[in-house]
Each structure stands twice: as structure tokens, then as C-alpha cells.
Structure 1
Amino acid sequence: EGAEGAEGLNISTIIDNTKKTYPLITASIAKSGTSSFHLSSHDESFEINREIIPSENSNIEFDQLFRYMGNGTFLSLEIRNDTGPWTQLWKRYGKHGYQVFVGDWDNFWSFTSVPLREFAGERIRVRFRYEYESGADWSPVDGDDPNEMGAFIDNVRVTNSQELQRLSSITLGADQTTFELDSLPNDEYWLQIKAKISDRWFGYGKRKIVENYKGIRPELRIDKINKVAEELLEIHVKSKGIKKLILQSSINGGKIWNNEQMVRPKSTKEEELLFQIKQISSSIIYRVIGSN
């Protein structure tokens, strides 16, 4: 799972569909870090430029904060798969009319979690859209402080998911029925084909999952997590075909991961392993990764 804050390292993964009148990234207002995403004018949006594959247990999670925003204006979360249009999964309206009290806005960030089970196993993209429908329009104009208006979004992530990364493409002739892919590392790959007739490209067909493994297929899963004392966690892991397991922690929602413990399984056969760690805060999240 990946997290999108508004820090400089993540800007390349964002498609900015705003009018560019005011910056999409704003400093000094953030749930964590130093920046957040900011939408404040009609028909503006930003898209996360990642190909995500959710599971049955995936949620999209984010933090949101509203300032002056009309009661006929909303922020929405939208999802699109390979073949369909953008689908709205969540939206929230502002609360303001034509007159407001100074500082009458959200004083605290709200955490939001939206299930993605209906998109399990599909390739999806995610965007946030700001839309004016009616009533008072609190879009900033010249002389306004834009940070007093609109919606702020931070710490966007999809849990229990995979990211599809484009590796390469091959052009096939009309009568070509075979091709070869060389030097692929051990992993699982998606293969999709699309057709071109004259100058028009058509959409991708159904995916074919190709597994490329030599020897034992690596497997890793967290079997159970127990709290055995007031501040002690036990994380039970089962692994196979993996040479090294690393327990990592994050204090900022998965933006930065820190190595806590490392274990080397005794064999490549399925093995049960145990991590024990002192939990100093309920806001810390943990994961176990494997490396060969």
C-alpha cells in the first residue's frame, strides 16, 4: 500500500487538474508533514497517478479539512477502472451560506475510510474532485486568502492493495501469434493486449496473470497479532521461499517506514516466525516485508 501526502517527494505521482490560479499543494496546513492538497474552485480535481489493485479488504483512507465552503459545493472521491467512467464513492458538502462567522470552519481534521471491495482484483485510479452546484460560491478571488476557503486533503492511501507498475510494451504484427519476454525477475505480472485499427486505439482486453518463478514460489502472510502485555505486541508470520524478513514501523501513516527487526528463516520451506515489539503508541502502524 502506498501513501500520498503533499510532500515534495510525491509530486510526480499526482496529476494536477486545477485551473492553476492557486497552487494544488499548500504549505502550513497539514494533518502530518508540512503540506496538504487544496481544492477551492469549481470543477477542479487531482488524480493519483498510480495503477492500484485493491483486494476484498481494501479501503481508501484519507484525512480531510473544510474551511469556508458553500452548502451547495462538495468534495468527492471518485474511482475509475479500465473500462468504466469515474464512479463517485464518497462526497461531503460545505455548510456556508452567503454570510459567515469569522473562523466558522473545521477546527480538526476528519479521518475517512471508504471500502473498495466492489473493485477487488481490478486496476483502478483515484481522484478527488471539487464541484459547485448552487448557492453561495466561496471560491477565492483576487485579494482573498485562498487558505481560508475550500477543502484540504492529506495522507491518501489504499490499504491491503497492490500497485501495478508498467514495465514495457511490445508492438505485434496483425498475423503475429507468439512473442517472448526476456529477463523478468521472479514475480507476478499482468499481460493485456489492445488493438489499433487505422489511427484509433481500442481499450485493453481481459488481463492474463503470468507468474514467473524459479524454484519455490515466495509466500508471506501475517497469521495473527496478539497483545500479550500492556505495551508488548506479538506478530506471528508464516513465510516460504524468503531469505530475509523485516519488521517495519511508521508513525506518519505509511509515508516513511523504519526497520525495527530482521529475521532470517532457517529454510526455504514454510516456517512460522515470531516478532515481538514494544508498542509505544497506538498511532504506529507495522508491516512485515520479505527480501531475497
Structure 2
Amino acid sequence: MSQTPLPASIDDTLHLMDQAGYVADRSLATVLHLALKMKRPLFLEGEAGVGKTEIAKVLSTTLGRDLIRLQCYEGLDIASAVYEWNYPAQMVEIRVAEAAGDTEHQELSKSIFDERFLIKRPVLQALEPSLNGAPVFLIDELDRADEAFEAFLLEVLADSQVSIPELGTVKADEPPIVIITTNRTREIHDALKRRCLYHWVDYPDAERELEIVRRKVPGAAERLAHEVVAFVQKLRADEDLFKQPGVAETLDWATALSELNEIALDPDMASDTLGVLLKYQDDIERVRGSKVRLMIDEIRKDVPQVQSMPAI
């Protein structure tokens, strides 16, 4: 994978995202361009399924950089995220030294706390030099991690370095391209946000979501794509759902209906496949049946325009 130069302008950034099939708006391209230019972490906040994680994957692909992903979860600690020592190998080293009579404490300490015995986790891997240039470091769903780990990241984000008591400070020659995502299940501390550029990734409007469906589900009939997007947009706008469907669910639904050879939304088939679009039973029961039929009738007002559009 060859390395691509960083985009020189906002338009270049839009083109870069477009190359990978990511339909970005100009505000996202602007903050992304600035993050790359200023070498600052980019903090992406938004509902699940709106495409935050995909941004890091697109950057990795289009720029030819390694992607290092740290998936956050409750209880994530330094041993899992940053580094730990290979204790079995260290014990073997100690036994070998004892057998050889090399029991000088200071020398033995230096020997066993050598980089040979260091197991590098994602944070440390992201600080290492690479032939492809600084990697894309994705810190995914930071809101799932504990506040203590969030505080640990401050040194990494501010100075691109990690302090290891036994070895000293490990600092990156070139700061990684850091993308942090959060679904806002809890607030992230201001100290961390101050070290980043910020962008709220919202649900796309109908035009942009339709373009996403066309690109990601090219086998879907044009009318089906229009009606799926119109249905999802109406759900988000009109229905008080526990969890609104994200773009990922829109794509899944369009794919599922296309696989079933549907060329337009059928009320019965739409009801039967709502589990692809909605992930909570209360939401499904709120929408299925007569409500689905009513919503389809309402969005069908635009069907003549859809029918006249050429298929892609």
C-alpha cells in the first residue's frame, strides 16, 4: 500500500473521501483537512451508525497508512491498551541468569526490563515509526472506557508520547493521525476535548443519504433506494423512537430488500424486515403494520419523480 500525500485543500479532502465512497459534507471535510494540516487529534461525536468509525478507515485506505484501532470498553486498562511486560519470558531470563551466576541485581533489572520483553498494545504501536508514515490511530467509542483511562490519554494526545516507568518516555517521531469517536453515552472531560478538533457527525439529509445508498448498495433499484431513504428520513423526523436508525441500518435495509428482489417498498415486506432497520422491539411494534402502510402511502407522493429518474 503506497503512501498518498496529505490533501492540500478542503476540496482535495472532499475528493479523497469521495474516492473511497464516503459521501462527506463540506463541514466534515473542512475540520478533517485542518486536523491533518495542524497534526491535531479529531474528536468525532454523534449517534451510533452515522459513519464516524468509517472516517478513520477511509483515511487509512486513501492515504496508504496503517490503521491501528483501539476499541474501548468498560475496564480497559494500560495493560490492554498501551503495553505490558512478558512475564513468562522475563522469568526464563532470570532463571538463565541465575544458572550462569549473573545475579547482579542492577544488571539483571536492566536485562529483564528490556524492550525485548515489552508487549506493545495499540497506543504504543501508534507511536512507532512506519515505512508508510504515521499511522491512523482510531480510538473507538471512548465513552465506553473509564474516566481514569481517559485521563491517561492526555499525554498521548498532547505530546504523542507515553511514559513507561522501567524504560522512560517513548515519543513518536511523527504524530499519528488520531481519530476519536464517541456515541455520547457519557460526557468526555473538557481536558481531553481541548487537545482535539471537534466535529458533530449528524444524520445525513435525504439527498446525501440517497447518494450513500446508491454507492454502497448499487444493486438496489432506484425507486427502492428513494423510498427506503424517504421512509428512514420520515422515521427520524416524525417518530419518537428509542433508537433512531443510522446510516448503517439504512444500508442494511436497502441491501436486505434488494436481496429479496424488491423494487419498491411493499408494506407487508417492510413490516417483516423492520428488524433489519430497528433494533428494539418497542420501536418495531410502534411502526409495523398499519403505521408502515400509512408512511409508505405518504412518501409515495414523490413516486412519479422517482420513476422518471434513470437507474444507475
Q: Which range, TM-score by smaller chain?
A: under 0.3
Q: Write 1 or 2 for the structure with the bigger share of strand.
A: 1
* Larger radius of gyration between Structure 1 and Structure 2: 2
TM-score by length of 2: 0.25
